[in-house]
Amino acid sequence: MGAVPYTRGLHEVGDGTYAYLSPPGTWGWSNCGLVVSGDRALLVDTQFDLPMTATLRAAIAAAVPQARVTTVVTTHANGDHCWGNQLFPDAEIIGSAAAAHGMADEVQPAQLAALSGPGSPDSPLGDYMRRHFGHFDFSGITVTPPARTFSGRLEVPVGDRTVELWEVGPAHTGGDVLVSVPDAGVLFAGDILFIGDHPIMWTGPVRNWIAACDRIIESGARHIVAGHGPVTDAAGVRLFRDYLVLVAEQAATAYAAGLPYWEAAATVKLPDVYAGWGRRERLVITMATAYRNLGAAPAELLEILAHTADAEAAK
């Protein structure tokens, strides 16, 4: 298959294997995957809220009316990849044990609604949250963690096909999982990959994230579906991997020099190939996490987000 257009909806990227793409791919606009065999289907991730997940369900029903989703794989605990899980009540939900545990520690739907709704603070942070999260509908969500968990590696049958789950966290989050479909040459990376925007490292360490990128490249997959952004290939993964290496090196230098993490984020220098990437302010979050992994005392989440909002305003 040729290049996959970055347009909203289901796109077949391999035999019976689909990417559900959600441009523009920034905060909350995440991709999903679908693997079909006969009358059975495995879904990789759900959407951020219930209306978006209902739209995903309708797209699946229209594209493969003969199949029902019997398995949902949650690649990690962030809400934009799992807060629609409850709309698949008859499916077995699978995820890493670390991701299942981490869902209870995430910012919950009601909390995010309060931070981003019309009653959120009149401040740079409140403005940032309203603009990036205020258009999602966080009502009615019951956070639904995986009922079946694993560590390391798991093979999941889908009809007469086999899907492979590889735990590669902690990296982006504590329990990241890659989903490989070997017979289609497709890999669903979850948020181990962001294409076109600066990523967010919530947990780290970055060396695990770099190793996860190596594993994707070594898989030989022809089509690689990022958690956010267009479908890519091994070259796109290498470019992303190189970014992580550069940021990690500069984080270590800035930490050793005693520079605060938010100032370190502002001083990161990257080659021109990354100049078009959006959401540069998210480097503040990544730097705060890198500093913590280097030995700094953890910063409070609202402090980190406030510096993130300030960084966007300073652009």
Reported as a single tens digit per residue, the pLDDT across 220-277 is: 999 999 999 999 999 999 999 999 999 999 999 999 999 999 999 999 999 999 999 9
Can you name the residues that pair with 19 across neighbouring β-strands? 11, 33
Structure tokens at 161: 């096909």
SS3 125: helix
Phi-psi region of 18 (alpha: psi -120 to 50; beta: other; left: phi over 0): beta
pLDDT at 29 over 90: yes
| Rounded Cα gap, residues 155 and 161, in angstroms | 10
Choosing among 3.40.640.10, 3.40.50.1370, 3.30.70.2860, 3.60.15.10, the CATH entry for 9-313 is 3.60.15.10
The mean pLDDT value for 29-46 works out to 98
Closest residue by Cα to residue 79 from 94, 99, 59: 99
- The pTM for the full model equals 0.97
> What is the pLDDT at residue 62?
97
pLDDT at 1 over 60: no
> What is the pLDDT at residue 294?
98
Q: What values do phi and psi take at 191, rounded to 5?
A: -90, 15
Percent of the chain with pLDDT over 90: 98
Closest residue by Cα to residue 268 from 289, 292, 251, 290: 251
**Average pLDDT value for the chain:** 97
Nearby residues of 91 by Cβ (< 8 Å), 6 or more positions away: 43, 69, 70, 71, 72
Percent of the chain with pLDDT over 70: 99
Residues 287 and 251: beta-carbon distance below 8 Å: yes
Dihedral (CA of 14, 31, 197, 237) sign: negative
In the structure, what pLDDT confidence band is assigned to residue 315 with cuts at 50, 70 and 90?
confident
The mean pLDDT value for 174-185 works out to 98
The mean pLDDT value for 195-202 works out to 98
In the structure, what pLDDT confidence band is assigned to residue 71 with cuts at 50, 70 and 90?
very high
> What is the pLDDT at residue 2?
61
Domain boundaries, given as residue ranges, for the chain? 9-313
Question: In this structure, are strands 17-21 and 32-37 parallel, antiparallel, or unpaired?
Answer: antiparallel
Q: Say how many C-beta atoms besides its own lie within 10 A of residue 61's C-beta.
A: 12
Can you name the residues that pair with 195 across neighbouring β-strands? none
> What is the pLDDT at residue 166?
98
DSSP string, 173-229: STT-EEEEEGGGTEEEEEEEEESSB----SS--HHHHHHHHHHHHHHT-SEEEEEES
How far does CA 129 lie from the centroid of its chain? 18
The mean pLDDT value for 164-192 works out to 98
